[in-house]
Structure formats: C-alpha cells, structure tokens
Amino acid sequence: MAAPTRINHLGIAVRTMAEGLAIWQQALGLTLEQVVEMPERGLRIAFLRCGETSVELLEPLHENSEISKFISDRGPGIHHVCLETTDLAASSEHAAQHGAILLGQGPKLGAEGLPTRFAHPKTTGGVLVELLEKA
C-alpha cells in the first residue's frame, strides 16, 4: 500500500480571487506562485506557498463551476485537503477497500497537471479528500 506521504495543499473556496489574495497573500504574507484557469471546470486557481505545502485558492468562474454550489451552501472556506502519494492507484484502492467512496470513474488531471482522485466527504469524516500522485 502506498500511503500518502504529506499534505500537498489545502483547497480554500473563495468568492473572488481578490478577496482570497487579500487574506492569504497580503494579510498572511504567503507567496503567490501562480494562477491557473481551468475553464472546462469553471475554476480559477491560485497557488500560494506555505513551507513545504501550498494553499490553493479556488474561485468560481461562473455559477455552474465545480465549487459554486459549495460556496452557495457553505460560503467561502476550506473545500478540501490534498494528500500526496507516489502511487495513486494503490492509495485509491486501499481507501476504497476501507470504506471511502471515490468520486468519478477514475483519475483526472488536477490543476497542477498531475493525476488525482477525490474521496467523498461522507466517507472521510466530513472532509473532501483529494489524493494526488507525485512521483
């Protein structure tokens, strides 16, 4: 079993990137590394460095984005925790064998261009968990 090795990033849903950057970059002093747009998912994502991990700000590009319902229901805040693994298939299989319900039909590329899988929060103690493969 390839257990996750570290927290890669925390995903934070924001109403607007300007609001998110005002907090995480300006007030808290994190360094903005890059901003990526994923129009196919309706997202603008900013990566801010915090030591060995990152904070990932997720801004909806439209009302049907992947995080619009989350923000509408819960407001801005922590959206997910991303755990890094060297073997996504083995980590995903292990999680599923122990009760995690994996979302989607298989891995898909995340904002970093790396394969990811998400585990449903109903099966992970109320936390949306992203598994990310990084060799």
Indicate the domain borders of the chain.
Answer: 6-133
Regarding pTM above 0.75, the answer is yes
- Between CA 88 and CA 112 the distance in angstroms is 15
Sign of the alpha-carbon torsion through 119, 105, 40, 30:
positive
pLDDT of residue 50: 96
pLDDT classification of 76: cutoffs 50, 70, 90: very high
For residues 12-23, average pLDDT: 98
CB 22 within 8 A of CB 15: no
- What CATH number does domain 6-133 carry, 3.90.1170.50, 3.30.420.40, 3.10.180.10, 3.40.47.10? 3.10.180.10
| pLDDT above 90 for 55 | yes
Q: Write the single-letter amino acid at 78.
A: I
pLDDT of residue 1: 65
pLDDT of residue 20: 98
Share of the chain above pLDDT 90, in %: 92
For residues 94-118, average pLDDT: 93
Q: Where are the beta strands (DSSP E) in the chain?
A: 6-13, 31-38, 43-50, 53-60, 77-85, 108-109, 115-119, 129-133
pLDDT of residue 67: 95
For residues 23-48, average pLDDT: 96
Share of the chain above pLDDT 70, in %: 99
